[in-house]
Amino acid sequence: MTVPIPAPISGPISGPISGPIPAPISGPTPVRDTLPPLTLYLAAPRGFCAGVDRAIKIVELALEKWGAPVYVRHEIVHNRFVVDGLRAKGAVFVEELADCPPDRPVVFSAHGVPKSVPAEAAARQMIAVDATCPLVTKVHIETARHADAGRQMVMIGHAGHPETVGTMGQLPPGQVLLVETVADVATVAVRDPDRLAFVTQTTLSVDDTADIVAALRARFPAIVGPAREDICYATTNRQEAVKAMAPLCDAMLVVGAPNSSNSLRLVEVGRRAGCPYAQLVQRAADIDWRALEGIRSVGITAGASAPEVLIDEVIDAFRARYRVKVQLVETAQENVTFKVPRILREAV
Ligand code: SF4
């Protein structure tokens, strides 16, 4: 099943995400010195975050421990290349627990799951391994803690995104109110404005979310929540790098999947930060070379679920057409790692 795109990219879209792949360069191999020059800015940090890295490792370790097939509920991370690679090793991706046989292990994706899912796995006596990113689990814990304290929950997130579904599913249906925009804040109907709390999806636009939080605090001064929001370090760092890079570039490409919330946000951030053309590509074959005619500089980044091999592929595609000079735009260094669950650290 295709997961709905969390939110449309606002503003004019410079070109299709995919589309006709331009004809390959024909004729003799171009002599490097005759190629046009291009400065290629490479954002850092970019690509895989600690939560994605851990989720992939969990599936690989589960396959080592229990052999194939290992069932995975939902795409483990939003990247087809990653999913296909794990499928080739013996992972089977399903949308619902009911699609898994009870005698095979099941892994829950990095986005997190509603509380009902592990409960159902336990009732069916399945081996279940939770690959929910620990930073998403932290939001689940906050949600439960506020509800225990008698506060009604408001979640800032994208309707239908698996992370939002998982976080809202920490409480019984109808208990968490969803707001997606500043306009939603004006109409949300709460039980008691003095007993409210909010949490956020971890992969939102930092700037848009700050506006929504400000609107919530203005309408409900007693609302409690995290000091700023729950947007994770990886989302924040990738957006900061794009903000620094975008004004330098004639064009910017974000390597990522169309259902990856944090990748879509990077496209938006790039456009808002002044890059005239910012586009999502899943891999090099998606690049619209006609739209890039005449550019002298391009910025490249990648969403948190895009592997570095796809970024290398995009860089190689530019090297085949341009005399490329690479410049790193580094705004932060990351050294976050998360442990895999204990069940995978124990011997069979
Ligand atoms: Fe975890 Fe953030 Fe990566 Fe999501 S984007 S998996 S919350 S580190």
At 296-312, the pLDDT tens digits run 999 999 999 999 999 99
Domain 134-219, CATH among 3.40.1010.20, 3.90.105.10, 1.10.8.60, 3.30.420.40: 3.40.1010.20
Q: Whose structure tokens read 């004019």? A: 12
Percent of residues, the chain, with pLDDT higher than 90: 89
Picking from 110, 125, 103, 123, the residue whose alpha carbon sits closest to that of residue 73 is 110
Could you say which DSSP state residue 97 is in?
A: G
Report how far ligand 1's centroid is from the alpha carbon of 345 (Å): 22
What confidence score (pLDDT) does residue 5 get? 37
d(CA 248, CA 299): 8
Taking residue 309's Cβ as centre, other Cβ atoms within 10 Å add up to 11
Give the mean model confidence (pLDDT) for residues 25-49. 83
pLDDT tens by residue, 132-163: 999 999 999 999 999 999 999 999 999 999 99
Give the N- to C-terminal CA distance of the chain in Å, as an integer: 33
Percent of residues, the chain, with pLDDT higher than 70: 90
Residue type, 160: G
What is the residue with the minimal CA distance to atom 1 of ligand 1? 51
In the predicted model, is pLDDT for residue 233 greater than 50? yes
Residues with beta carbon inside 6 Å of ligand 1?
Answer: 49-52, 110, 133, 135-136, 202-203, 232, 234-235, 262, 304
Out of 57, 132, 133, 141, mutate this one to test ligand 1's pocket (max ligand atoms within 8 Å of CB): namely 133
- 50-132 is classed CATH 3.40.50.11270: yes
Of residues 180 and 21, the one with the higher pLDDT is 180
Report how far ligand 1's centroid is from the alpha carbon of 98 (Å): 27
Q: CATH 3.40.50.11270 region(s) of the chain?
A: 50-132
The 10 Å CB-count burial string (b at 16+, else e) for 6-23 is bbebeeeebbebeeeeee
The phi, psi pair for 304, rounded to 5°, reads: -70, -10
Strands 251-255 and 196-200: unpaired
pLDDT band at 348 (very low <50, low <70, confident <90, very high): low
Helix axes 261-272, 233-245, angle to 10 degrees: 30
Going through 152-311 in order, the beta strands assigned E by DSSP cover: 152-156, 176-179, 196-200, 251-255, 278-281, 297-302
In the predicted model, is pLDDT for residue 6 greater than 50? no
Q: Whose structure tokens read 């939902």? A: 74
Task: Write the CA distances from 227 to 153, 207, 213, integer angstroms.
Answer: 16, 15, 10
**DSSP element (H, E) containing 187:** helix 182-187
Report residue 101 as tokens.
Answer: 């046989």
Could you say which DSSP state residue 35 is in?
A: S
Whether the Cβ atoms of residue 223 and residue 216 lie closer than 8 Å to each other: yes
Whether the Cβ atoms of residue 190 and residue 219 lie closer than 8 Å to each other: no
What confidence score (pLDDT) does residue 23 get? 44
Q: CATH 3.40.1010.20 region(s) of the chain?
A: 32-48+233-330, 134-219
What confidence score (pLDDT) does residue 228 get? 78
d(CA 320, CA 38): 11
CATH architecture of 32-48+233-330: 3-Layer(aba) Sandwich (3.40)
In the predicted model, is pLDDT for residue 27 greater than 60? no
pLDDT band at 7 (very low <50, low <70, confident <90, very high): very low
pLDDT tens by residue, 253-287: 999 999 999 999 999 999 999 999 999 999 999 99
